[in-house]
Amino acid sequence: MEESRLRRLAAIMFTDMVGYTALGQRNESLSLTLVEDQRKLIRPILRKYFGKEIKTIGDAFLVEFRSALEAVECAYHIQKAIKEFNNAASSDEQRLHLRIGIHVGDVLELDGDISGDAVNVASRIEALAEDGGVCLTRQVYDHIQNKFELPISSIGSKTLKNISSPIQVFKIVMPWEEQRKAPKFDSRRIAILPFSNISPDPNDEYFADGMTEELISAMSKIKGLKVIARTSVMAFKKKEKKIDEIAKDLEVGTILEGSVRKAGDRLRITVQLIDSETSDHLWSESYDREMKDVFAVQGEIAQTVADSLKIRLLDETKEKIEKIVTKNSEAYALYLKGIYYALNEYTEEAGVRKGIKCLEKAIELDPTFSLAYAWLADSYASLSLAYSKYEELPKAERAASRALELDPDMAFAHVALSGILYSKRDFGGAERELRRALELDPNVPEGHGYLFYTLTALGRTGEAAKEAEKALEQDPLAEFAIQVMSDSLINRREYARALELMIKVRDYGRDNPWFFWRRGWCYLHTSRFDEAISEFEKRELEAHTHPHSSKFPLAIAYAMSGKKEQAKMILKELETKGTVPTWDSAPIYAALGESEQTLKFLEKALERKESHTLTDTTDGYAGPLYDYLRNDPRFIAIMKKAVPLLGQST
């Protein structure tokens, strides 16, 4: 019989008793008794879930199942039965301690035994399980997600002995684990919640938000303090949620909350610092001041928080925190309005343009207002990058340069300049500015996220992945940070995990068109073609400025799902309209399987020095489309020539 006929796909369970070898050396009789107790307990459960016992190896079981779900349900009920057995045991020595690993893969059957990588992986991940726990591979997780009643959490990618590539491993979160005391988070990891506006005028909301933003910025400069970025804390604005729930969502040990009452030039700012584990108030204070004293108040709050958390402020840090950015109260109010519109309104006119007008008025009142220049640079750069108003880029560059002339050590100004350099495809310059920004302020907003994209453009994907992790840690609920981490996962072809992460966008933020696009690619590369087409069609309805950004992946989805004529119709439409650039033609032809046309367009990209086109052949979006060409001598030659171009201007 041919070997292929002896192979099949199966779910494999491997169990092992914790500490069995050591117990056998101490007390052989007891160890044999516990093995027998284990077998009597496990075998009826295996039969219930149609587990086929292949063999026992001392204290270990090797079991095959028809489905991943049956294997996982069986594993849970085994551990549940063992917990009940242990609760009834008269002493610790008479308790059973079991770990379980489950994997799905090909197995080879010979003479009633099975072998292969699936068996090896199951045995390796069993050792990663806790006492009483169950570990699963990504393949198992993909089969059972949304079908199994208990929560499952990732424990990360693991390198396993004799397994060539790292494997992502998950664990079942047992009900008795959830009943344990909630974890104690680091007290020096702090969330500054959106300040409440209790002013007589509801239009003073901008000032309350501005105070939140400014305090986050000030406290981010304190070495030893990890401050959650603005976007994540704003998810809790005007939401009734308990302190312990917020702490769990953000994984913070301390929370600062407060309110602002503004009446003319008079302010009343009330703040309280809270221990997230106990909800006890560590400190509270009210400040009745004039508008011109707002910077002193911010400095006092930051100093008191540092004292409460036993952090010593260096003189240079105090100087940064207490720095008066402008002595003009009206200019400061306009500045706060400017960033309020830029951050809270998601349209070009009502958001960015309105914010720019406020910032420009603030600069008219105080031409030395460096922070206003930095935000002006960021706003003009947003017009260029988000709304394709490339003519605004020189204004962004002038504003960033002026901000740095006035204050060379302003981290945010370096970030703004990096975005301008990135849009000009000066990736080396962008990296330099971002490194300087993070050196000045490790918590500078979006610094790690922008560095991820810059390093990705430079082809340094390993370094980029680390920056994506830092971006998400700093801003765990932010739409941008989730976008960054999703892109990182997609580049590594971890599509299921990226999809899982993007659910947060619906829970905490705006489900913007670029998430339709990202989800579409994830569905595409996991052969869920109808869902991919649906996401790309939703993206098309929203994509007003770049029609090809939804059309070209839609063509790819049609091609990969077998609807090649529809794909060709879209390609013809785009080429006729002249809206499809070279880098979009190549992957469409790759998806159609037309290798000659694909190579032709890649060669064109090489001639035109279109580095973006060539970078796309290696990422997790379009990259898999070229896999069938990777051994083709012409493709290899193109990529060898392309390497020096990556990161250069197009």
DSSP 441-455: -TT-TTHHHHHHHHH
The whole-number pLDDT of residue 545 equals 41
- Mean pLDDT confidence for 506-533: 79
The whole-number pLDDT of residue 432 equals 96
- Mean pLDDT confidence for 125-136: 91
The whole-number pLDDT of residue 250 equals 87
The whole-number pLDDT of residue 508 equals 53
Distance, CA of 359 to CA of 339 (rounded, Å): 8
Decide if pLDDT at 95 tops 60.
yes
Cβ pair 285, 270 in contact under 8 A: yes
H-assigned helices in 424-563: 427-440, 447-457, 461-474, 479-491, 495-508, 513-524, 529-542, 548-560
**618 or 472, which is more confident:** 472
Q: Which of 216-225, 432-441, 530-539, 606-615 has the lowest mean pLDDT?
A: 606-615
The whole-number pLDDT of residue 503 equals 72
* 544 Cβ neighbours under 8 A, 6+ residues apart: none
Residue 648: pLDDT band by 50, 70, 90 thresholds? very low
The whole-number pLDDT of residue 640 equals 80
DSSP strand pairing (60-65 vs 152-158): unpaired
Structure tokens at 584: 């979009």
Decide if pLDDT at 136 tops 90.
yes
Q: Map residue 370 onto helix, strand or coil.
A: helix
The whole-number pLDDT of residue 294 equals 81
What percent of the chain is predicted at pLDDT more than 70? 89
Specify the CATH architecture of the domain 3-178: 2-Layer Sandwich (3.30)
What percent of the chain is predicted at pLDDT more than 90? 27
Decide if pLDDT at 516 tops 50.
yes
Domain ranges of the chain: 3-178, 189-304, 325-445
Decide if pLDDT at 181 tops 60.
no
Distance, CA of 521 to CA of 553 (rounded, Å): 8
- Mean of the per-residue pLDDT values of the chain: 84
The whole-number pLDDT of residue 263 equals 84
Residue 581: pLDDT band by 50, 70, 90 thresholds? low
Q: List the CATH code of the domain at 325-445.
A: 1.25.40.10
- Mean pLDDT confidence for 326-347: 84
The whole-number pLDDT of residue 54 equals 92
Task: Tell me the torsion sign for CA atoms 316, 321, 322, 326.
Answer: positive
**322 or 273, which is more confident:** 273
Superfamily of the domain at 189-304: ABC-type transport auxiliary lipoprotein component (3.40.50.10610)
The strand pairing partners of 266, in sequence order, are 263, 290
Q: What is the maximal distance between C-alpha atoms in the chain?
A: 90
Residue 649: pLDDT band by 50, 70, 90 thresholds? very low
**100 or 180, which is more confident:** 100
